[in-house]
Structure 1
Amino acid sequence: MANRALTQTLSDDPMGGTVRRTVLPNGLRILTESIPSMRSVSFGVWVGIGSRDETPALSGVSHFLEHLLFKGTKRRSALDISAEIEAVGGETNAFTAKEYTCYYARVLDADLPLAIDIVCDLVTDSVLTEADVETERGVILEEIAMHDDEPGDEVHDVFTEAIYGNHPLGRQISGTVATISALTRKQIDGFYRRRYRPETMVVAVAGNLDHAKVVKAVRAAFDRAGWGDSPAVPAPRRSRTSRVPARSGQIVVHNKDTEQAHLVLGCTGFPRQHDDRFAVGALNNVLGGGMSSRLFQQIREQRGLAYSVYSFTSQYSDAGLFGVYAGCAPGKVEEVLAITRDELARVASEGVTDAEVERGKGMLKGAVVLGLEDTGSRMSRLGKGELLYDELLSVDEILRRVDEVTPDQVQRVAKELLSRPMSLAVIGDFEDGAFTGALD
């Protein structure tokens, strides 16, 4: 019994395929969605470890490790990894988030065994040589520099830090020049050995596949690396009840010689599994989720003050953010800020119209369905669903929950969310002390 894998069918979605889940004795979870009409397959290994799991001294280590795992294993060089995938017309990549990291490949269905072998090999058996650490350190420092040259991206990091301060959620995923320069091969390898274990991982696969064959191939790949011996249970999902310290009323201005000023105005939001998350999604679409949104119409269409303006939400297991971004001429920041604050206050006090709610819900439903048109997005749905949520909702169930959102619910959420104390982050050519009193 100790070596038996437990398999169950989670759903047979008429808008997709059959979803099955197997838990191996070592705690590794394997989820597949069989879609016979597809001729491609996306394979991903999701690790429940991200930048919020790092100490201050190790800031950026998850992202550093993501780079290094592609540099070579005991069986493959970095060139081998890329050449073998590209020889069959496939692609492989990875990304790091604050609460997880994902390594994936997309290939023709006939080449799924190769994708499984390569991705599992690099995740479980990387050698992490000293030379590769030094080479990739330079690459990551260039990546940080490139990010710093994009103030439209950088201002989001400034805003997040303004809200969460020194908490891990407030730190940049990439780390800083100081932390990346100081990280040693021993520190990175130690983080890898401690954190990357079968019980912290989810394998997600979508496309034209056979579940039993996928399980057999994944199990063999993990066994080959010596990762299949120790019995374990899947790591629990992150706590939904922990309290993340957050600040409000912050005004942070980074002086930089830019043609445009970039600003984010916002506040704390709702966590990932909040009961009102679908209402928040509809509200976000009404405020700044598209060209028909209030902020786009007020700031760009009617006044021509900005080219790019939108609202956004970020959700974590126990915290969240809401914000509005705009890029405009430096002399227009105060006007854009005033319009934004007035519009948010108006929605908080008066709500939005029934027609706007229906439009916001329609945008949500369209994003769900259109976002599942390829195997990569379906693979991501499986990985995130298992790793981050208590349940894997079918497409029909998601659409039903969106349809159940009412104007009264959106108005209640708007009043609660948009009445929270705001913070402001600005990047541009401004003196110290600029915008003092802008939130009064």
Structure 2
Amino acid sequence: MEKYFFDWKEYTLENGFKIVSIKKDTELCSIQLGIDVGAVNEEENEKGLCHFIEHMLFKGTKSRTNIDIDQDLEDRAGSYNAYTTYTSTVFSITALFQEFDPSIEILSDIIKNSTFPSEEIEKERGVILAEFRNSYDDVEHFSFNKVNSIGFEKSPLRYDILGKESIIKNVTRNEIMSFYNKYYIPNNTVISIVSPLEHEEVLEKVKGYFSHWQGKELMKKDVIVEKNRGIEVTSRKKEIEQNTIVYLYTFYSLTRDEELALEILNHKLGESANSILFRALREEKGISYDIYSEIDVTDYMKTLYIYCSASEDDILEAKKTIDNCIENIVGKHIMIDERNINLMKKVMKTGIASILEDSEGLCNYALHQKLMKRKIDGFSEDLEALDNIKAEDVYKAAEKVLSNPTIHILVNQG
């Protein structure tokens, strides 16, 4: 088996702040800082606070205005980004290596020293409410939100990462600050750095910015994981050109080897341009332009979706075709053989090689591995496990997962 190596070390400061240093022969530095808090950690009256805080950390610190922050990020002449997921909140800068110190300094400032100005909260409240309106107009986004909302009764996945509009409209500065002070602490934070520096140099630089950050007791609620409900619901929406179908499956009880078999199945089912669903709905019947499946093996997620758009005249035929494809896979009437497995191995190896060659991608991969408390080079074990997966394992994964879906159909109200 091919071996994939990169040079990394992990450290934990006395305050619990975790560091992943990756040494790479590059002219760039990539710095990504992740807080181990996302939408799954929000209480019922906190839905949307992670995303709101992500926005607010660019709106002013003890020493910078929002204009200063924007300009200092722009001056790095690289790329910078922030995003919120169900499980984490991430801030990143990738720039020339000479920008290493100012990049890490500004990230430390916005994470530790944000002041949440009241006037900026009101401005950002309006921005996020506009995001809600945009999400309603995005039929694909709307369809995924609907299938989650009907598929779960208690799981936090039933809510969009944007949260609940009623909460965003009324949340106070004190409530935002309370959430921030609870979770945005060093012992709930990971920084991943790709640079040409020696690991000890990275450690000393990080210490200079984060070692005096005061840790505190971390209190997290247990995250509810819930199998999706086997239910089909049809909704109607005005003035849409495309109707949609979304299938939702969950797989919380699978082993990692079984998840790998499911990933092979997902690639064959709807991830590739030569997938079962693509050929059945687009190439053979010509009734759908947009058809795919996607899988998420992140902790607390464990979801597989099938998405399809079609005209109102074809939507029921599309559903029938998807159902037939699923039945034929579970019934072993569609061939999944060693060729499919070997192709998936090649896909994974190509993805790993791409990550290792890309400073930003490697930095992001290492960050999320650490946030999920997985081995930084966990892909090596996955590749070894893939060598032992057979076609029968893929069929068994299909039988375990591809039953009792949540199905949401969206059609034009007319």
Normalising by structure 1, we get a TM-score of 0.87
| Aligned with 1:421 (options 404, 409, 414) | 404
Cα deviation digits, residues 342-364 of structure 1 (max 9, x gap): 10111011163212333333323
1:191 is paired with a residue whose SS is helix
Q: Is the 8 A contact 1:237 1:388 kept in 2?
A: no
Matched with 2:367 is: 383
Matched with 1:291 is: 273
| Aligned with 1:93 (options 81, 84, 106) | 81
How far apart are 1:395 and its partner, in Å? Answer: 4.6
CA distance in 1, matches of 2:268, 2:104: 42
Q: Is the 8 A contact 2:268 2:340 kept in 1?
A: yes
| Aligned with 2:45 (options 22, 41, 57) | 57
Is 1:358 aligned to residue 352 of structure 2?
Answer: no
Structure 1 residues 62 and 30, CA gap change in structure 2 (3 angstroms): same
Is 1:313 aligned to residue 258 of structure 2?
Answer: no
Cα deviation digits, residues 277-332 of structure 1 (max 9, x gap): 21111110000011111000110111111111001112342452212101111111
CA distance in 1, matches of 2:195, 2:253: 31
Is 1:339 aligned to residue 321 of structure 2?
Answer: yes
CA distance in 2, matches of 1:421, 1:318: 19
CA distance in 2, matches of 1:16, 1:79: 42
Is 1:173 aligned to residue 161 of structure 2?
Answer: yes
> What letter corresponds to residue 298 of structure 1 in structure 2?
A
CA distance in 2, matches of 1:238, 1:55: 8
CA distance in 2, matches of 1:286, 1:263: 19
Q: Identity over aligned residues, as a percent? A: 23
CA distance in 2, matches of 1:252, 1:220: 56
Is 1:18 aligned to residue 7 of structure 2?
Answer: yes
Matched with 2:213 is: 227
Matched with 2:351 is: 367
2:115 is paired with a residue whose SS is coil
Matched with 1:278 is: 260
CA distance in 2, matches of 1:403, 1:245: 30
* Residue segments in structure 2 that go unaligned for 5+ positions in a row: none
> What letter corresponds to residue 364 of structure 2 in structure 1?
S
Q: Is the 8 A contact 2:244 2:309 kept in 1?
A: yes
1:94 is paired with a residue whose SS is strand
> What letter corresponds to residue 306 of structure 2 in structure 1?
V
Structure 1 residues 254 and 205, CA gap change in structure 2 (3 angstroms): farther
Normalising by structure 2, we get a TM-score of 0.92
Structure 1 residues 103 and 153, CA gap change in structure 2 (3 angstroms): same
Cα deviation digits, residues 56-111 of structure 1 (max 9, x gap): 22110000000000111111122222222322312221110111111111111121
Range that drifts further, 27-36 or 200-209? 200-209
> What letter corresponds to residue 237 of structure 2 in structure 1?
N
CA distance in 1, matches of 2:196, 2:167: 43
CA distance in 2, matches of 1:113, 1:259: 50
Q: Is the 8 A contact 2:82 2:89 kept in 1?
A: yes
Structure 1 residues 27 and 401, CA gap change in structure 2 (3 angstroms): same
Structure 1 residues 389 and 277, CA gap change in structure 2 (3 angstroms): farther
Q: Is the 8 A contact 1:45 1:202 kept in 2?
A: yes
How far apart are 1:243 and its partner, in Å? Answer: 4.5
CA distance in 2, matches of 1:300, 1:210: 52
- Describe how 1:383-402 pairs up with structure 2 within 5 A: 383-393=367-377, 395-402=379-386
Structure 1 residues 359 and 123, CA gap change in structure 2 (3 angstroms): same
> What letter corresponds to residue 276 of structure 1 in structure 2?
E
CA distance in 1, matches of 2:221, 2:177: 24
CA distance in 1, matches of 2:3, 2:400: 37
Q: CA RMSD in A?
A: 2.4
2:231 is paired with a residue whose SS is coil
| Aligned with 1:406 (options 390, 395, 400) | 390
Structure 1 residues 48 and 88, CA gap change in structure 2 (3 angstroms): closer
CA distance in 1, matches of 2:87, 2:285: 39
How far apart are 1:208 and its partner, in Å? Answer: 2.1
* Residue segments in structure 1 that go unaligned for 5+ positions in a row: 1-12, 432-440
Matched with 1:104 is: 92
How far apart are 1:115 and its partner, in Å? Answer: 0.9
Structure 1 residues 409 and 109, CA gap change in structure 2 (3 angstroms): same
Structure 1 residues 362 and 231, CA gap change in structure 2 (3 angstroms): same
> What letter corresponds to residue 301 of structure 1 in structure 2?
E
CA distance in 2, matches of 1:41, 1:246: 42
CA distance in 1, matches of 2:44, 2:395: 40
Range that drifts further, 315-324 or 379-388? 315-324
> What letter corresponds to residue 25 of structure 1 in structure 2?
E
Is 1:68 aligned to residue 50 of structure 2?
Answer: no
CA distance in 2, matches of 1:315, 1:215: 31
Structure 1 residues 252 and 214, CA gap change in structure 2 (3 angstroms): farther
How far apart are 1:159 and its partner, in Å? Answer: 1.3
> What letter corresponds to residue 138 of structure 1 in structure 2?
G
CA distance in 2, matches of 1:238, 1:191: 13
Structure 1 residues 388 and 409, CA gap change in structure 2 (3 angstroms): same
CA distance in 1, matches of 2:393, 2:405: 22
Q: Is the 8 A contact 1:32 1:382 kept in 2?
A: no
> What letter corresponds to residue 251 of structure 1 in structure 2?
V
2:292 is paired with a residue whose SS is strand
